[in-house]
Amino acid sequence: MNYPAIPKDAEICRVLTCLHQKFIVDFANGIDVARDHQRVQRERSGFYARLRDGLSGKGARRQAEINAPLIDGVEASLHWLTELTESLAHSHLAIARVNERVNSIKQEMATLANYSFETRQGLQEVAQRLNNRCDKIEEEVARIDFVQRVQRNLSAVFARWEGGRFESLSPAGRCFAALEELRWGDFGDYCRIHTGQERQQFLQEATNRAIAQLKRDLQSTASERFGATLWLKPPAGESTLPNAAEALAYLAEEYPPQQNPFVFVSAHAVEQLPLHVPRIMSATRLSETLVEEVFTRDIYA
Amino acid sequence: MRKVAKVGLVLSGGGAKGAYQVGVVKGLVALGIEVDVIAGASIGALNGGVIACAGSLTQAAGRLEALWETLAEETPISVENPLGALSYLVLLSASGLKMKMALLLAQRAAQLAGIPFPVDNEISILSDKPLQRLLSAYLDVNALERGLPLHVSVFMSSGGFLDIAQIAVAEAGLLETPDSQFLHVQSLPLSEQKNALLASAALPLLYQPRKVNGKLYADGGQGGWSRAQGNTPITPLLHSGCDTVIVTHLSDGSLWSRYDYPHTTIIEIRPQTPIARDSGFLGGPKDLLGFDTRKIRSWIDQGYHDTLHSVGRIMNSLQAYSHLQAAEQARMNSEAQDADADAALSSAMSRLRSLEN
């Protein structure tokens, strides 16, 4: 039975949702119905069967029952195909819209990525500057700390000299011992690492303090000259430390005598002075030369 | 299938081929389908009775299987009238296909043998006592009262021979038999309910017609012969408000037409391979009364597989269609949120760009 096609968006389809179901049921079930009739029709191909089916009208009815689902099936196929095509069109449109939006999001994403890159770059620069600054501050702090330790080292050594700790040694030996103490301490480390004005200032300060202490020890002036015997003669008496001379010689072991004649004579009990060593000298001459030999000669390089 | 409609089940008549309906019910259970109303003709009425009084379709499938196992072991056919060889020819007439020829042969043979051929309405060849015993065993009248609404197809009998003659004329396409009537079993008095079922299954001449509400009724499958109006009783289900009806057929190429019921969603379960097990001149009657184990089991299997095939195909299509609609709806719902998302992104990007400037 044929009915006019009902549009998919017709109001009746919204009211009777089962209409869609009926159309699918008729479509799918119609195949089984047609197949059943077609099978029987094929079996009834004998003369009497055909004659009987023709006379009774069963043949025509069966054919009609085969035709109806086929026609309905084609119509349903068209209906379904139309619906599927519409759905597919909607889906494609939706995909196109999704694609547009994805592209738009990609562009925004690119903007964000650039922004992120620039931000990160800026942050890295700031971090680098900050690190440099911190390094500098750290260096400065380390330097200040080092300078402090050098100062403490300087003060401590000359305080020990002033306190009479080196009295077992000759005046020149005291000066060498004090300078050796400095060389093995923070003062020496500083002089090994650094060059320049500040190092020079420290060496000058050490020289000055040595001159001052020698002045006090000999109760003289800085430029007053004394014979070598006075400078090099170790004190005698019970209060002197045993082995002091050996210790001093041990400290001077690494100084080649030819390059460091003042060190050599200050640390060893020599009977004959080397030619390079003056027979008379002032506290200034002794201090400056010992500082030079201990801190500026090759041994120190 | 989502149960959104009132679902009716039509169980048509076909004698021993009714075993096919056991398979159908099992198939419906497997597919998770429940029914709300049942209508049956002949053997379909008896099967319908068992289904209606069961608590669920699952229970019904079990009971039907047990009943048909019994039928396979003890045939419900018991010869009451000693017609000897004639009885077989009369059975042949019951097939409806070679009716007229068989009837004439039976009459001629009776005349030649000097045996009076039965003409009285009350005379039948087979006793329905075995059927009554089976009904008593498997049909709980009290449960039926509370069970699914059951309609049976009955035919107002004009006497066995006249009924047969009417069918023969209808079979020849000359004149249609009167339409069958449909009885709502639960509306009948309790004492009449089993009678109504037996009446619906009372093949003319083979079984005695039954009186229900004072009227003599015989096999409901006889009415509206060429359209199978009585044998495929969909009409009471439409009157009950069913909008989806599952129709089972027990013959190959049944000429019952779904197109006579354009406003109803009809799912036909037709045999996908020949349901006839015997062929030749006596094939029809042999199948009709073929209550033997081999045939019954094969019909149960066939009904089960045909149901899975036919209903399964529809369910798959409906499911695909439903998925398509759901997907479309999901797409539309998703698209409805696009504007908000776009606006949010646009606003955020504008703020970002304002920083750059």
DSSP codes joined into one string, B162-218: HHHHHHHHHHTTSSPPPPPEEEEGGGS-HHHHHHHHHHHT--TTTS--EEETTEEEE
Instruction: Assess if residue A4 is contained within a domain.
Output: no
Q: How far is B308 from chain A (nearest CA, A)?
A: 12
pLDDT at B290: 66
Does the CB of A299 have a partner CB in chain B at under 8 Å?
no
Question: A57 to chain B: which residues are within 8 Å by CB?
Answer: 173, 226
The boundaries of the domain holding residue A24 are 11-142
Out of A124, A142, A160, pick the residue that ends a domain: A142
Residue A10 is classified by DSSP as -
Residues of B at the A interface, defined by Cβ within 8 angstroms = 4-5, 171-173, 226, 243-244, 249, 252-255, 257-259, 262, 265-272, 274, 309-310, 313-314, 317-318, 321, 324, 328, 331, 335, 338, 342, 345, 349, 352-353, 356
- Using the beta-carbon criterion (under 8 Å), do B267 and A58 form an inter-chain contact? no
pLDDT at B99: 45
Q: Does A129 share its domain with A181?
A: no
Question: B5 to chain A: which residues are within 8 Å by CB?
Answer: 18
Q: Does A131 share its domain with A193?
A: no
Q: Does A98 share its domain with A160?
A: no
Question: B6 to chain A: which residues are within 8 Å by CB?
Answer: none
Tell me the three state secondary structure of residue B151: strand
- Using the beta-carbon criterion (under 8 Å), do A108 and B271 form an inter-chain contact? no
Q: How far is B21 from chain A (nearest CA, A)?
A: 17
Tokens of residue A231, six digits: 């400078």
Which run of H or of E encompasses A291? helix A283-296
Q: How far is A65 from chain B (nearest CA, A)?
A: 7
Which run of H or of E encompasses B136? helix B129-138
Out of A91, A118, A142, pick the residue that ends a domain: A142
Q: How far is A195 from chain B (nearest CA, A)?
A: 50
pLDDT value at B174 more than 50? yes
Report pLDDT digits (tens) over B286-321: 666 667 788 899 999 999 999 999 999 898 888 888
Among residues B41, B68, B138, B125, the alpha carbon closest in space to that of B290 is found at: B68
The total number of structural domains that make up chain A: 2
Q: Does A178 share its domain with A211?
A: yes
Does the CB of A13 have a partner CB in chain B at under 8 Å?
no
B215-219/B150-156 β-pairing:
antiparallel
> Considering only alpha carbons, which residue of chain A is nearest residue B259?
A1
Angle at CA A78, nearest 5°, toward A72 and A80? 95
Question: B173 to chain A: which residues are within 8 Å by CB?
Answer: 55-58
Among residues B166, B283, B152, the alpha carbon closest in space to that of B224 is found at: B166
Q: Using CA atoms, how far apart are residues A30 and A156, in angstroms rounded to an integer? A: 115
Helices A58-162 and A47-56 pack at an angle, to 10 degrees, of 100
Q: Does A154 share its domain with A290?
A: yes
Q: Using CA atoms, how far apart are residues B4 and B118, in angstroms rounded to an integer? A: 52
Tokens of residue B233, six digits: 């009783």
Contact B252, B284 (CB under 8 A): no
Q: Which of A8, A29, A43, A52 to mutate to test the interface with B (most CBs of B within 10 A)?
A: A29
Instruction: Assess if residue A75 is contained within a domain.
Output: yes
Question: A26 to chain B: which residues are within 8 Å by CB?
Answer: 258, 265-266
Of the pLDDT bands very low, low, confident and very high (cuts 50, 70, 90), residue B87 is very low
pTM confidence score: 0.66
Among residues B203, B208, B218, the alpha carbon closest in space to that of B120 is found at: B208
- Using the beta-carbon criterion (under 8 Å), do A1 and B259 form an inter-chain contact? yes
Q: Using CA atoms, how far apart are residues A77 and B129, in angstroms rounded to an integer? A: 53
Instruction: Assess if residue A3 is contained within a domain.
Output: no
Q: Does A160 share its domain with A282?
A: yes
- Chain A, chain B: beta-carbon pairs less than 8 Å apart: 108
Q: Does A93 share its domain with A170?
A: no
Report pLDDT digits (tens) over B190-240: 888 988 998 888 776 667 788 888 888 988 888 988 889 999 999 999 999
Maximum distance among all Cα pairs of chain A, rounded to whole angstroms:
165
Q: Does A100 share its domain with A155?
A: no
Classify the phi-psi angles of B114: left when phi > 0, otherwise alpha if psi is within -120 to 50, otherwise beta.
Answer: left
Q: Going residue by residue through chain A (301 aa), what tens digit of pLDDT does each one get?
A: 444 555 555 554 444 455 567 888 898 999 999 999 999 998 888 888 888 888 888 899 999 999 998 998 898 889 889 989 999 999 999 999 999 999 999 999 999 999 999 999 999 999 999 999 999 999 999 989 999 999 999 999 999 999 999 988 999 999 999 999 999 999 999 998 888 899 999 999 999 999 999 999 989 998 899 998 889 888 877 777 888 889 999 999 989 888 899 999 999 888 788 888 889 999 999 999 999 999 976 544 4
Instruction: Assess if residue A301 is contained within a domain.
Output: no
Contact B43, B320 (CB under 8 A): no
Q: Using CA atoms, how far apart are residues A162 and A213, in angstroms rounded to an integer? A: 7
Out of A97, A120, A142, pick the residue that ends a domain: A142
Question: B274 to chain A: which residues are within 8 Å by CB?
Answer: 39, 43
Q: Using CA atoms, how far apart are residues A144 and B319, in angstroms rounded to an integer? A: 85
Considering CB atoms only, which of B252, B321, B342 is closest to A20?
A: B321
CB-based burial, A42-81: b 16+ in 10 Å, e otherwise? eebeeeeeeebbeebebbebbeebbebbeebbebbeebbe
